[in-house]
Amino acid sequence: MSTITDVTTIFTLYGILGVYWENEFFSWDPVQCGADSIVLPRKRFWVPDVVINEFMDENNAPSVPYVTAYHNGHMKDLLPMRVVSSCNLDIYTFPFDVQNCTLTFNSFMYLDSEVRMKLGDRVEDILERSKEVMTTMGEWELMDITSTKYTLPTYIGDVDELAFHIKLKRRAGLYVVNLILPSCFLITLDLFSFLLPPQSSDRSSFKMTLILGYTYFLLMMNDLLPVTGNGIPLINVFFCLCLALMVASLLETILITNLLCDSSWNLTPVPRWVQVLVLHMLGSLVGLPPKPKEKTNSEVNACPLVAVEGKVDDQAEAPEAQGPEAEDKALEQLRSLGKDLQAIRLQVEQQLTGNQSSEEWLQVGFIIDRLLFIFYIIFISVSFITIIDIWASAYAADMSR
């Protein structure tokens, strides 16, 4: 009981646990016995109770009820173990994340004065052996393995611990192809939908179809996103941003369509400040300058009125030679004709004024649509560049740790 038992641990990051120790009461002469090792039942010997502190699930590996005993007293226990461990994941940069996990080996019952943990192989060899196993398996790429020896104080004494720090990098190709690229394609398609005529209902229908399709896409790909971690992944912010941009684009289309449709029957003239701010200033800024004004209504109606007056004078001369009765009748006809001409003139002026107001409101709608389209492009560019920069910075920081 006074002899410290050294338990040597060798493992491969694939789920196999092997321990070695020395039994000072069990040895023989290999020459006389004819064998330097034998396989015996485990229940006949004392086996160190080496556990992994991060173990989270039942071991489903097949049980091996034997240990190997060597002539010099060395015992080898190659116990298969499927390890499901806990790890504090930092998923902020998912799927370009680098994780640092730890596996800690120690005795469950014995203190460091009774059982001492030792590393049975070089960490470099463990790393190379684990890389060979994990080359074509799973979504993780093994970056590095380091080991540290700890002494854990407890209320009954110190416990010897051997910790392996494992650095893993996620293979992001699957997530880039299935998540990020389709989102970029859909947001690009929404961007080019601004080329459709804004006064047409096909544009809003197209954008609504895009939103429904993108929502269905997110529901289908929800299983690929991490559900555990210490924060919200940046990729979730990216998806929310894409969906918010699509919704904002649809709202902009609804407003512009409503403005352009109202301009077809709304005869209210455009306010002066809207003409100055939108038609002249913003129109020149977005490449849609105001159209030159047409001739005024008085210039358009001057010639027909002169011709009508000439006809009235010709008719006025005729009744003077015909007598008083004919003159009274002619005056009544002229008054009725004058009223009709005034009504026609008012209608023409109102129609011309309405057409001009309608064209100005149409121009206002086109200018606002072009301006919001430019803002949309700028916001998408700045947002995507910012997210990519955050991804790259966080990834570089994880790789340097």
Predicted local confidence at residue 310, as pLDDT: 43
ω into 182 cis (within 30 of 0): no
Least confident of 308-312, 344-348, 356-360: 308-312
- Per-residue confidence (pLDDT) for residue 243, from 0 to 100: 92
Range 145-153 average pLDDT: 88
pLDDT at 341 over 80: no
Which band of pLDDT confidence, cut at 50, 70 and 90, is reported for residue 181? very high
Total number of residues shown for the chain: 401
C-alpha dist (Å) from residue 245 to 214, 296, 377, 388: 12, 44, 10, 17
Cis geometry, peptide bond prior to residue 95 (ω within 30 degrees of 0): yes
Which pLDDT tens digit goes with each residue over 153-178? 888 888 889 999 999 888 888 899 99
Q: How far apart are CA 362 and CA 257, in angstroms?
A: 10
* pLDDT value at residue 225: 83
pLDDT digits 0-9 by tens, 21-55 = 888 888 899 888 889 999 999 888 888 888 888 87
Delineate the domains of the chain, giving CATH numbers in brackets.
5-171 (2.70.170.10), 174-290+369-400 (1.20.58.390)
**Block residue for tokens 């720090």:** 165
105 DSSP β-pair partners: 52, 162
Question: Going by C-beta distance under 8 Å and a sequence separation of 6 or more, which residues neighbour residue 166?
Answer: 13, 100, 101, 102, 103, 142, 144, 145
Residue pair 198/141 in contact by the 8 Å Cβ criterion: no
243-295 residue pLDDT tens: 999 999 898 888 888 777 765 555 566 677 767 677 777 777 777 666 665 54
**pLDDT at position 214, please?**
93
User: What pLDDT shows up at residue 344?
Assistant: 73
Q: Is the pLDDT of residue 320 over 60?
A: no
> Quick one: which of 261, 184, 192, 248 has its CA closest to 217?
184
Long-range Cβ contact pairs of 142-149 (< 8 A, separation 24 or more): 142/13, 142/166, 142/167, 142/168, 143/98, 143/167, 143/168, 143/169, 145/13, 147/119, 147/123, 149/117, 149/119
Round the average pLDDT of the chain to a whole number and report it: 79
Residues 6+ apart with CB under 8 A from 95: 170, 172, 174, 175, 176, 179, 235
Asked if 158 contacts 77 with a C-beta cutoff of 8 angstroms, the reply is no
345 vs 86, which has greater pLDDT?
Answer: 86
The enclosing H or E element of 375 equals helix 324-400
The answer to whether residues 172 and 126 touch, using CB atoms and an 8 Å cutoff, is: no
Find the angle CA(206)-CA(212)-CA(216) to the nearest 5 degrees: 145
Q: Are 364 and 63 in contact (CB under 8 A)?
A: no
- pTM exceeding the 0.75 threshold for the entire prediction: no
Region 329-346: what's the mean pLDDT? 74
- Specify the DSSP element, H or E, that contains 314: helix 297-320
Q: Which residue has the higher pLDDT, 280 or 214?
A: 214
- pLDDT value at 364 more than 70: yes
